[in-house]
C-alpha cells in the first residue's frame, strides 16, 4: 500500500484503520472502509499530480508561472525589507531629510522562503524515514 514515501504509507494505513475501527466495530467492514479511504486518497494524489504536471508543462506564464511568481514576490519582499528600507533610511539621514521607518514585513516572509527552498525541516523528516 504505497501512498507517498514521505507520509509513511503503512503508518497512514494503520492510523486510518485505527480511527475507522473506533467507529465501525465489525473488523471486516472496518477494513473495507479503511481501504476505501486509502483508495480515495491515492486517487486524489494521482489527480493532483496530473494537474501539477499539466501546469508545469504549459508554456503560458499565467498557467505554469504561479509557483515562480510566489518566489518572485518573496524575492521582491526581501529586497524591500532588507535593502530598500535600510538604504532609503540611511540616504534620508545622510541627505538631511530623515524619514520615519516604513513598514516592513514580518517573519512570515522567512517561513515562506524556507518553504519555497525546501529548508523547512522536511528534509530531516525524509532522512528519518530513510527516503533518498
DSSP string covering 7-41, please?
Answer: T-HHHHHHHHHHHHHHH--SHHHHHHHHHHHHHHH
Burial readout 97-107 (b: 16 or more C-beta within 10 A, e: otherwise): eeeeeeeeeee
- Give residue limits of the domains in the chain: 1-59, 65-132
Considering only residues 52 and 15, tell me which one the structure prediction assigns the higher pLDDT. 15
Average pLDDT, the chain: 78
How far is 33 from 23, CA to CA, in rounded Å? 10
How far is 113 from 132, CA to CA, in rounded Å? 23
pLDDT tens sequence across 24-60: 888 899 889 888 888 887 877 777 778 777 777 777 7
How far is 59 from 5, CA to CA, in rounded Å? 30
Q: 89 with 121: CB under 8 angstroms? A: no
Beta-strand ranges (E) seen in 65-131 are: none
Amino acid at each position: 500500500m504505497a501512498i507517498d514515501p514521505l507520509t509513511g504509507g503503512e503508518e497512514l494505513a494503520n492510523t486510518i484503520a485505527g480511527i475507522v475501527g473506533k467507529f465501525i466495530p465489525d473488523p471486516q467492514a472496518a477494513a473495507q472502509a479503511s481501504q476505501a479511504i486509502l483508495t480515495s486518497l491515492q486517487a486524489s494524489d494521482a489527480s493532483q499530480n496530473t494537474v501539477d504536471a499539466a501546469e508545469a508543462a504549459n508554456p503560458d506564464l499565467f498557467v505554469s508561472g504561479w509557483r515562480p511568481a510566489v518566489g518572485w514576490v518573496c524575492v521582491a519582499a526581501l529586497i524591500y525589507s532588507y535593502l530598500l528600507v535600510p538604504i532609503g533610511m540611511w540616504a534620508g539621514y545622510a541627505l538631511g531629510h530623515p524619514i520615519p521607518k516604513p513598514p516592513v514585513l514580518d517573519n512570515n516572509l522567512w517561513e515562506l522562503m524556507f518553504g519555497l527552498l525546501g529548508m523547512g525541516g522536511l528534509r530531516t523528516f525524509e532522512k528519518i524515514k530513510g527516503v533518498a
